Amino acid sequence: MSHRSFVWLCLLPLAVVTAAFFLLPMARLVVTGAGGPQGLAGYLAILTEPRYRATLINTVLLAAATTIVTLIVATIAGMFLQRHRFPGRAVLIAMLTFPLAFPGVVVGFMIILLAGRQGLIGDFSNRLFGEKLVFAYSIYGLFLGYLYFSIPRVILTIMAAVQKLDIGLEEAARSLGAGPWAVQRDVVLPALAPAFVASGAIAFATAMGAFGTAFTLATNIDVLPMLIYTEFTLAANFSISAALSVGLGIITWFILALARSFSGSAVAAAG
Amino acid sequence: MSAQAGHGAAVRIDACGKTFADGTRALQPATLDIARGETLVLLGPSGCGKTTMLRIIAGLELPDAGGRVLFDGKDMTPVPIERRNVGMVFQSYALFPNMTVSDNIGYGLKIRGVPSKERAERVAELVTLTNISGLEHRRIDQLSGGQRQRVALARAVAIRPGILLLDEPLTALDAALRDRLRSELNRLLRALGITTIYVTHDQSEAMELGDRVVVMQKGAIAQIGTPREIYFTPRSRFVAEFIGAANIVEATIEDRHLVLPGGRQPIHCDVNMPAAVAMIRPETIRVTSAGSASLSGTIDSISFIGDRQRLVVSGASNRLLTVDAPNTLRTRPGERIGLSISPDAVRLLPPES
Ligand SMILES: Nc1ncnc2c1ncn2[C@@H]1O[C@H](COP(=O)(O)OP(=O)(O)O)[C@@H](O)[C@H]1O
Ligand SMILES: [Mg+2]
């Protein structure tokens, strides 16, 4: 057997697995999406049908908000945790990264405990203002859940990136007259840009597609995964749910590609 | 400020010591005055506290309680580096990777709010001065080591600092480039005429660049003086051996003579001593014929260096003696030679060091 054909033979299992579990279902999904009464125009319905379009925009906004707030919170926390030594630091890091292990259902459950009808926040506001503040079952509860979900992941990435920052660059900027804010703006943030793109992409994709948390909180939250679920199980609308799935994938992929190319120059320069 | 800007500030370091949080005593309390426009070199082996001293002057480290840093008589100790108006060249250069060469050079001016037209003029001026024309729009990772060094210097000088601080700016470069950039740097520093503190572990760099040299040893100042002073009149064995080549001779002094295995060497010293330590530079020893000489030895080996030859002589002193002889001298290993040394060239050192 020649060396070349040996390599091909080794690739065969990978090809089979890829085809069976990835390409075929995907192709089937794409075909199903076009298999409704409107045919290919079923895909167009994602954008033209007001309910679908509103859900789509909602989901993208929610994911974008999650990503931005996660990045802000995680960058400040990660920078502080990496740069300072204090008693209890290890415990704090362990606690912050603890939710990594939780599935969406548990996160949803915790949001209900926090902001649900019997939740802590409700109790508290009831005592203070005589009114129960409940937002667990809305998109705000979901937003909180996604933050809870994303922050630990992003903090870890940011901490690793902060550790690799060259302190000399910050000192050089200061020697040239840069105050704390200018140092952050001109030196630290550009150097962290690759970490922002990498961890932000994961936070965004997770928030676009996560289902467990939403499902635990309520069935009528207007986000794409819930819409797909209801179209699929309740309305048995296979073609629309398939079209929505493909749309979800493409939109997520497109926005991530956009973010990557947008920050591309910064990443290249900082690399 | 502007009247003095061309020549910078006078610096006084007053009883500045440094003990790091982990207990490392990096610097014994030291006091030092640096005149306006002077180039002072901090010289010493790695780990002796040079960088720590520089960082205290820069404002990147606080001295231990009681220490003060003064610029033109003004106490700067509590002032952070961003408000000290010092230009700093770091050992690693620390150029901003997300900016071009001209953005790096102009950064300090931009922070100071200098309008972009004026900024561009100043950057162009420095690009010419440091000889990096044509590189203005390059990214930092597209530069060679020597080019980076020049950009780092241009960036530090652009802000017209009161004091220029350089931490081993040539150490990262290869030997040939280092020699070339050293004389270029020398010319540039002279032209700028600004107060400069230059850290190095290379004694020839210190000699060429320094108006005065501070030799440091284990966190303390061993000697301060002009290059000539520390070369010709070292105050300790450490300084003698660290600066240039030195023969250290241990002998008794009798009758204004060092009593050596190879004979008697006249010196200027009126007291008799049982155990004296003296330094003799290799180039001050003249080779004569063995017969008439009061001090003689045998040639162990010869290395021909080009402009001179270095002889290693045994039997004259209690240990091998290095002698720099003219390159025309015809001699060979095993030959017996006389050594003629002027009493002026023998420098007594304190014995304990
Ligand atoms: N941040 C620090 N914490 C603890 N020890 C330090 C720190 N910086 C330097 N040192 C120690 O202080 C001593 C002097 O260091 P340094 O000033 O960098 O020496 P040099 O520049 O002469 O090589 C060394 O022993 C070094 O290990
Ligand atoms: Mg150093």
Q: Tell me: the pLDDT tens digits for A62-112? A: 999 999 999 999 999 999 999 888 898 999 888 888 888 888 888 888 888
Q: Are B96 and A173 a contacting pair at CB < 8 A?
A: yes
Residue A21 lies inside a defined structural domain of this protein: no
Which tokens hold the place of A165?
A: 């920052």
Q: What percent of chain A has pLDDT over 70?
A: 96
Mean pLDDT of A180-197: 92
> Which atom of ligand 1 lies at the shortest distance from residue B53's CA?
17
Which tokens hold the place of A73?
A: 């919170």
Mean pLDDT of A188-201: 90
Lowest-pLDDT choice from A215-229, B71-85, B91-105, B267-281? A215-229
CATH of the domain at B260: 2.40.50.140
- For residues B78 and B149, membership in a common domain is answered with yes
CATH of the domain at B23: 3.40.50.300
Listed in sequence order, the residues at least 6 apart from B13 whose beta carbon sits closer than 8 Å to its beta carbon are B30, B31, B32, B33, B34, B53, B56, B57, B67, B68, B69, B70
Residue A78 lies inside a defined structural domain of this protein: yes
* Test site for ligand 1: of B20, B217, B218, most ligand atoms within 8 A of the Cβ: B20
With 70 as the cut, is the pLDDT of residue B14 above it? yes
Which tokens hold the place of A173?
A: 């900027």
Cα–Cα distance for residue pair A201/A121, rounded to 1 Å: 31
Residue A13 lies inside a defined structural domain of this protein: no
- For residues B172 and B255, membership in a common domain is answered with no
Query: Tell me, what's the pLDDT at B8?
Result: 85
Ligand 1 neighbours (beta carbon < 6 A): B 20, 22, 24, 26, 44, 46-52
- C-alpha of residue B168 to centroid of ligand 1, in Å: 14
Residue B2 lies inside a defined structural domain of this protein: no
pLDDT tens-digit series, residues B41-70: 999 999 999 999 999 999 999 999 999 999
Mean of the per-residue pLDDT values for chain A? 86
Among B174, B207, B241, the domain boundary falls at B241
pLDDT tens-digit series, residues B150-200: 999 999 999 999 999 999 999 888 888 888 889 889 988 888 889 999 999
pLDDT tens-digit series, residues A125-161: 888 888 888 888 888 889 999 998 899 989 999 999 9
Residue B327 lies inside a defined structural domain of this protein: yes
Among B203, B225, B241, the domain boundary falls at B241
* Test site for ligand 1: of B19, B22, B24, most ligand atoms within 8 A of the Cβ: B24
- For residues B176 and B49, membership in a common domain is answered with yes
Residue B5 lies inside a defined structural domain of this protein: no
Residue A160: HSE in the Cβ half-sphere, 13 Å Cα cutoff? 10
- For residues B136 and B263, membership in a common domain is answered with no
Cα–Cα distance for residue pair A269/B113, rounded to 1 Å: 24
Confidence of residue B6 (pLDDT cuts 50, 70, 90): very low
Sheet containing B308-314: which strands, arranged edge to edge? B285-289, B336-341, B296-304, B308-314, B321-326
With 60 as the cut, is the pLDDT of residue B72 above it? yes
Ligand number with the minimum distance to the CA of B91 = 2
Q: B16 and B27 in contact (C-beta within 8 Å)?
A: yes
Q: What percent of chain B has pLDDT over 70?
A: 98
- For residues B189 and B48, membership in a common domain is answered with yes
Query: Tell me, what's the pLDDT at B2?
Result: 39
- For residues B26 and B167, membership in a common domain is answered with yes
- C-alpha of residue B41 to centroid of ligand 2, in Å: 13
Rg (C-alpha) for chain A, rounded Å, is 23
Residue A9 parent element (H or E): helix A3-18
Interface of B with A (CB under 8 A): 58, 60, 80-83, 85-88, 90, 92, 94-99, 107-108, 111-112, 139, 155-156, 159
Q: A251 and A56 in contact (C-beta within 8 Å)?
A: yes
Q: Are B88 and A171 a contacting pair at CB < 8 A?
A: yes
Residue B3 lies inside a defined structural domain of this protein: no
> Least CB-CB distance to B92: which of A168, A175, A176?
A168
Residue A22 lies inside a defined structural domain of this protein: no
With 90 as the cut, is the pLDDT of residue A206 above it? no
DSSP state of B161: -
Nearest residue in chain A measured CA to CA from B59: A175
Give the residue with greater pLDDT, B1 vs B349. Answer: B349
- CA angle at B249 for the pair B247 and B253, rounded to the nearest 5°: 145
Instruction: Provide ipTM, 2 decimals.
Output: 0.87
Mean of the per-residue pLDDT values for chain B? 92
CB-CB neighbors (< 8 A) of B160 in chain A: none
- For residues B21 and B59, membership in a common domain is answered with yes
Residues near ion ligand 2 (CB < 5 Å) are B 51
Which tokens hold the place of A143?
A: 């937003």
- For residues B237 and B251, membership in a common domain is answered with no
Number of domains in chain A: 1
Q: Helix, strand, coil: what percent of chain A each, to 5?
A: 80, 0, 20
Query: Tell me, what's the pLDDT at A22?
Result: 82
- For residues B234 and B265, membership in a common domain is answered with no
Confidence of residue B352 (pLDDT cuts 50, 70, 90): low
- In degrees and rounded to multiples of 5, residue A128 shows phi and psi of -80, -50
- Closest listed residue to residue B220, CA positions, set B68, B24, B27: B27
With 50 as the cut, is the pLDDT of residue A188 above it? yes
With 50 as the cut, is the pLDDT of residue B74 above it? yes
Number of domains in chain B: 2
Residue B28 lies inside a defined structural domain of this protein: yes
Q: How far apart are the first and last CA of chain A?
A: 43
Strand ranges (DSSP E) for B261-350?
263-266, 273-280, 285-289, 296-304, 308-314, 321-326, 336-341, 346-349
CA distance B87 to chain A (A): 6
- For residues B191 and B218, membership in a common domain is answered with yes
Sheet containing B39-43: which strands, arranged edge to edge? B86-89, B163-167, B195-200, B39-43, B212-217, B220-225
Residue B1 lies inside a defined structural domain of this protein: no
Q: What percent of chain B has pLDDT over 90?
A: 81
* Amino acid (one-letter) located at A226: M
Residue A26 lies inside a defined structural domain of this protein: no
Cα–Cα distance for residue pair B122/B101, rounded to 1 Å: 13
- For residues B88 and B149, membership in a common domain is answered with yes
Query: Tell me, what's the pLDDT at A264?
Result: 59
Residue B6 lies inside a defined structural domain of this protein: no
Write the burial class of residue A24 (CB in 10 Å: 0-12 exposed, 13-18 middle, 19+ buried). exposed
Confidence of residue A1 (pLDDT cuts 50, 70, 90): low
Residue B4 lies inside a defined structural domain of this protein: no
Cα–Cα distance for residue pair A246/A27, rounded to 1 Å: 10
- For residues B33 and B178, membership in a common domain is answered with yes
Q: Which domain holds residue A247?
A: 50-270
Coil, strand or helix: which one is B270? coil
- Closest listed residue to residue B284, CA positions, set B347, B211, B335: B347
Sheet containing B11-19: which strands, arranged edge to edge? B25-34, B11-19, B68-71, B74-75
Nearest residue in chain B measured CA to CA from A193: B98
CATH of the domain at A230: 1.10.3720.10
Which tokens hold the place of B100?
A: 């071009």
Q: Which domain holds residue B291?
A: 245-349
Given the DSSP bridges, would you call strands B285-289 and B336-341 parallel, antiparallel or unpaired?
antiparallel
Q: Are A177 and B159 a contacting pair at CB < 8 A?
A: yes
The pTM (predicted TM-score) of the whole model is 0.83
